[in-house]
Amino acid sequence: MSNAKKIYVVDDDKIYHFILKTFFKKNNLNVEPEFFENGLEAIQYLKTQLKAGSEIPKTILLDLNMPIMDGWQFLEEFRNLKSQHDFAIDVYVVTSSNDHSDLEKAGKFENEIVKYLLKPINDSLLGILS
C-alpha cells in the first residue's frame, strides 16, 4: 500500500484533470488522485469503498457545475452518507463560480465543506494536499 494521500477529484473538465496532474507532479505532491466526471460516479464509488472497508480519500476536490449529479447534489448525498457511517473526509469546493448565491448556498454545507476555492488552481492547494 502506498503512503500517498488518496484524494478524489470530482470535476467533469478533462483539461482540469490534466492541469491537476501536472500541478501534483510539478510540486512533488505525494497524492494518489482518482478522477470522477460527476458527483454520481464519485458518491457511488465512495459508498462501494465504505461497504468494502477499503481505503477512502482524505480529501475531495469538488466542482459545483457538472452533468448528471452536480456538486450540490453530491454534498446532499455526502451529508446523508456521513450520517450513516463514521468517516472523516475534507471536502474543498474548487469552482469557477464566485456567484453570491453559490457562496451563500455553500454556507448551508458548513459541516461538509472545509473551504470554497476559486479556479484556477494556485498554491493554496499546496497547503491542502501537502
Predicted structure pTM score: 0.93
Residues 5-32 have a mean pLDDT of 94
Closest Cα partner for 78 from 59, 65, 94, 95? Answer: 59
Domains and CATH numbers, the chain: 11-64+71-123 (3.40.50.2300)
pLDDT of residue 128: 82
pLDDT digits (tens, 9 = 90+) for 36-93: 999 999 999 999 999 999 999 999 999 999 999 999 999 999 999 999 998 999 999 9
Residue with cell 469546493: 93
pLDDT tens readout for residues 54-66: 999 999 999 999 9
Place of cell 474548487: 94
Closest CA to 79 of 101, 50, 46, 109: 109
Q: What percentage of the chain has pLDDT greater than the value 90? A: 77
Distances (CA, A) of 79 to 14, 43, 46, 54, 73: 26, 11, 13, 20, 10
